[in-house]
Amino acid sequence: MEGDRRLRTKKRKRARLIGFVQVGILVLSIITLAAAGFIYSVLPDTDISQLKNQIGHSTKIYDQDNQLASTVTANKSEGISIEKIPEHVKNAVIAIEDRRFYEHHGIDYKGITRAMVNNLKAGGIVEGGSTLTQQFIKISLLESDRTYKRKIQEYFLAKEVEHEYKKDEILEMYFNQVYFGHGAWGINKASQIYFGKDVEQLTISEGAMLAGVINLPSKLDPYKNYEGAINRRNLVLSRMEELNLISAEKADQAKKETITLASVDQVDPLKGKYPYYVDHVLAEASKMYKIDLDELLTGGYKIYTTLDQEVQSIAEAIYKEDSNFPTGTSPDLVQSGTILIDPKTGGIKALIGGRGTHQFLGYNRATQLITSPGSSIKPLAVYVPALKEGYELTDPLVDEKMAFGQYNPENLNGQYKGTVPMYEAVMESLNVPTVWLLNEIGIQKGVDSLKDFGLPLEKDDRNLSIALGGMSKGVSPQDMAEAYTVFANNGVRNESHAIVKIQDPNGKEMAVWEEQSKKVATKEVVEKMNSMLLGVVKYGTGVNAAVEGHEIAGKTGSTQVPIEGISGVKDQWFVGYTPSLVGAVWVGYDKTDKDHYLTTYSSEGATKIFQKIMAQSLQSKESKSFEAADIGPLIEEQERKAEEENQKNYWEDKKEEFKKGWNKWRNKLFNNDGN
């Protein structure tokens, strides 16, 4: 009886065990099938057989008509065979990026473990586990997103690439497609850009520096962060010594070597068209849409812009002719920046960031220059807010030599008329009446107006000197051109931009411009301002900006050299516009000192450059009108009144002269009679 019970218990336990095993097998089968299904779903459908012939993806820039205008690019096609790359250069990259490159089969499990341990010890990410094969796959085959799917794809492709190609073939492809910063794809182009030599001529120290740049090409660009690049070079050399790839003596000698970089003017890595415009597009994409610059330069993006190729080409041709620019007190090149904007959309049609040799992603004076705008700010800071307050074009403004506390503005010509109508103060760019008017309406109204126009202000800028462009920092040509679009767009300011949309290589939209506008002034105020600024070009300081057959409005601006004892010009400005195009031109030295300044005013420099660009750009365009009143009749009326006043004064003087003569004759006659 007892034995039967035990037997039944044993059978039940065995049945339960078998049941558990069956369930376990079923679950394991489900998990296995799910895992297999997931892996199958993410397996890359990629043909790697043509990798050796693959040229990296270029970023394409399209114009306002969706026509291909420029590419950021061709350096990837300038490959070099592995035999021409010195052993010490190959060893430097292997030492810092993948020390077990010749031992693993695409995935370095030991390297991953070592990196995890070192990262745990450091309490952060100090070392990665990706192999050179994985890095090559990422830059040549996969998108740069950090997803589990991509990492799994990377794993399988690394295995496949290692099976298909020899190690030196993989290394050669890697060297020819990896990005070294400063617009350089590939080891040979990087060698030319940074050191002005081919890769075969690189020293151990130079090779180690290039190997170090790969990790963070933007941050370790030797032109921008020389000290950081040197520190990274020394780390590479230490790793090479640790792995017995160079001797301790050679490592020490290489660390002591002073590296001389090639002149930044020696090589322009951007061989595409419209370099300054492309520079700005890349900067705008990086800043506004948060796309990493390195990814942007290598990811095969399509960037659609507001570029007008005709206007851009015209501006570039004018900037190549030295005779179009004023000379200064130094043989050094007088610099300049120009930008042209569509007032209806804010789209940047063209820009030039400087004269002379272009440096890729270098200083762009059209967008990055910050300096005083001089008198070109007067309409924005004073006359628009005054018109809003009810002032009229013919209202008299005080024009007398005077002080406002400690501030003593002066008219440039040293002459004063007592009073002048507002339009004349604008037309002749008179300083004292402008400051007087701002003082009358109140500084705060001027400050508020500048903010409405989108100009950057500092705390210290709240004073009367803003009437004449006195600012703690200043503005760029882009700032001024965007502000003046208000006058050509019925009082509305649209934020300036170059990019319309960005697509990835597959056509997926990564970014789209969203219009941002602000109503700054009424139509009535704009019409009055347009009348006065048309008068500047037709009758006043901006006559050299006139284009036959087209209405041009605008304002000149100049600033004085801020050095006691020197009478010269620091900045020349002209900001002008038609109903369809607004432009700002700046001319000056990058650094003004006692040996570097201009001797002419904006009417002889910036204004003429603006005129040349506009004259050619408008040549085939239909003439458009602002429908604003011409101030010519006001000038004639003012001249008539002045002539009448002169005549009146003349006869008053004659009357007084006759009276004095009569009294003198009468006194003499009576005196004689008395004798």
Residues 446/377, Cβ–Cβ less than 8 Å:
no
Catalytic one of 58, 70, 97, 130: 97
**617 counts as catalytic:** no
Cα(661)–Cα(675) distance, rounded to whole angstroms? 21
Regarding beta strands 59-62 and 302-305, do their DSSP bridges make them parallel or antiparallel, or are they unpaired?
parallel
- Bridge partners for 418 per DSSP: 399
Tokens coding 75: 């350096």
Backbone φ and ψ for 157, nearest 5 degrees, come out as -65, -35
Catalytic one of 205, 372, 375, 617: 375
CB burial of residue 143 (10 Å; 0-12, 13-18, 19+):
middle
Regarding beta strands 569-577 and 582-588, do their DSSP bridges make them parallel or antiparallel, or are they unpaired?
antiparallel
Cβ-defined contacts of 457-463 (< 8 Å, 24+) = 463/407
Tokens coding 286: 């990086």
Contacts of 606 (CB under 8 A, 6+ apart): 336, 556, 572, 573, 574, 585, 586, 587
Cα(369)–Cα(14) distance, rounded to whole angstroms? 85
Regarding beta strands 418-421 and 396-399, do their DSSP bridges make them parallel or antiparallel, or are they unpaired?
antiparallel
CA 119 to chain centre: 37
**249 counts as catalytic:** no
Residues 269/182, Cβ–Cβ less than 8 Å:
yes
DSSP for 75-92 reads: GGG----GGGS-HHHHHH
Closest CA to 61 of 350, 303, 343: 303
Q: Which residues are catalytic?
A: 97, 375
